[in-house]
């Protein structure tokens, strides 16, 4: 069975609304012969004459009366789908957005972002969830609206990305630690006892790769899954944490941070979302707020 011609719904709506084939033709800007052919197809498709002659005019059949309101609503709904989105009214917007971020993002950028949202759209609520991996499944399935992170091999090819900021790794120790004073050389850094941060539990990472050309190797005495855990250990011991600078600013209160004494590639933190939300006005507004907030807090 061939699919029905949905264009006939527009014709049927005009015929039932006007109660006249001639006026329906004028409304749709069709010639009388084209309108006659369309009406014939409608009668064939519905299995009903729809309009029958009564004296000099036409009257709708019971089937036509039954269909009139349903067809009108269908056409209005279709027009609404195809019409450009209405201007976003932020004051009336009621919605919860879920953002999946690595630890440190909320602590550093969350307060300013929440304040901006509250000022512009008081009915909007932000829900922040942890990011245990780099998979794009949650974006694809729609359980997450926005995500922050480094674009990598596991990022879905369809995912949209926009750079938020660049970040560099720094060393962090407690106040009074040997590395809190004096010039820090690659050798001094490598000779310390280190914390490695890895969500997958790996004992090697970019820092170790950067030390290799210098003929140096650091001693990793513990592996943790997050930056805040690494910083808590550094605060209470002589261990050295190596973490991204901008994302951990507010987590490092009371600690001594220092630039790494050897080159390590910077990372680009991006904003990620699924393309189905590209044109959504509210989602576009929130993306803009996140970009502005990250740009303002340097």
Residue 131, pLDDT > 80, answer yes
DSSP annotation of 177 reads S
Q: What is the mean pLDDT of residues 95-104?
A: 92
Distance (Å, whole) CA 214 – CA 28:
78
Task: Give strand pairing partners of 57.
Answer: 54
The predicted-structure confidence for 214-261, as pLDDT tens digits, reads as follows 999 999 999 999 999 999 999 999 999 999 999 999 899 999 999 999
The predicted-structure confidence for 77-89, as pLDDT tens digits, reads as follows 777 667 666 688 9
Q: How far is CA 64 from CA 45, 48, 145, in A?
A: 13, 8, 44
pLDDT at res. 135: 80
- Judged on CB neighbours under 10 Å (0-12, 13-18, 19+), 120 is middle
Residue 35, pLDDT > 90, answer no
Task: Give strand pairing partners of 130.
Answer: 101
Give the phi and the psi of residue 43 in degrees, each rounded to 5: -65, -40
More confident residue, 49 or 298: 49
Task: Compute the mean pLDDT over every residue in the chain, rounded to the nearest whole number.
Answer: 89
pLDDT at res. 58: 79
Residue 2, pLDDT > 80, answer no
More confident residue, 57 or 171: 171
The domains found in the chain, sorted by start residue, are 7-82 (1.10.10.10), 91-159+274-296 (3.40.190.10), 169-265 (3.40.190.10)
Structure tokens, 124? 């909007």
Burial 235-264 (b: 16+ CB within 10 A, else e): bebebbbbbbbbbbeebbeebbbeebeeeb
More confident residue, 165 or 12: 165
Burial 45-62 (b: 16+ CB within 10 A, else e): ebebebbeeeeeebebee
pLDDT at res. 266: 93
Residue keyed to tokens 């609520």: 125
Say whether pTM exceeds 0.75. Answer: no
State whether residue 196 is helix, strand or coil: strand
Give the neighbor-by-neighbor strand order of the sheet with 255-259: 219-224, 193-197, 240-244, 169-174, 255-259
Q: What is the mean pLDDT of residues 63-91?
A: 78
Distance (Å, whole) CA 3 – CA 10:
16
Q: What is the mean pLDDT of residues 154-173?
A: 91
pLDDT at res. 125: 97
Q: What is the mean pLDDT of residues 98-109?
A: 91
Residue 1, pLDDT > 80, answer no
Distance (Å, whole) CA 104 – CA 130:
10
């Amino acid at each position: 069975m061939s699919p029905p011609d949905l264009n006939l719904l527009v014709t049927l709506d005009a015929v039932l609304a006007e109660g006249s084939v001639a006026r329906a033709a004028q409304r749709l800007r069709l010639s009388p012969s084209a309108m006659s052919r369309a009406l014939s197809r409608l009668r064939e498709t519905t299995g009903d004459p729809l309009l029958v002659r009564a004296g000099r005019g036409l009257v709708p059949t019971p089937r036509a009366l039954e269909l009139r309101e349903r067809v009108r609503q269908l056409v209005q709904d279709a027009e609404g789908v195809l019409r450009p989105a209405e201007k976003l009214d932020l004051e009336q917007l009621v919605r919860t957005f879920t953002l999946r971020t690595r630890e440190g993002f909320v602590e550093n950028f969350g307060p300013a972002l929440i304040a901006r949202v509250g000022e512009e759209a008081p009915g909007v609520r932000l829900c922040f969830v942890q990011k245990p991996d780099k998979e794009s499944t949650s974006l694809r399935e729609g359980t997450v609206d926005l995500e922050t992170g480094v674009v990598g091999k596991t990022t879905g090819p369809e995912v949209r990305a926009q750079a938020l900021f660049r970040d560099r790794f720094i060393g962090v120790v407690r106040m009074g630690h040997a590395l809190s004073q004096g010039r820090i050389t690659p050798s001094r850094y490598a000779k310390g006892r280190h914390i490695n941060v890895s969500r997958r539990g790996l004992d090697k990472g970019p820092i170790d790769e950067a030390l290799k050309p210098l003929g140096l190797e650091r001693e990793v005495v513990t592996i943790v899954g997050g930056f805040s855990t690494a910083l808590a250990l550094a605060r209470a011991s002589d261990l050295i944490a190596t973490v991204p600078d901008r994302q951990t600013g507010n987590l490092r209160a009371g600690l001594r941070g220092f630039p790494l004494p050897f080159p390590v590639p910077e990372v680009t933190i991006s904003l990620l979302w699924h393309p189905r939300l590209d044109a959504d006005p509210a989602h576009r507004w929130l993306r803009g707020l996140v970009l502005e907030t990250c740009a303002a807090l340097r």
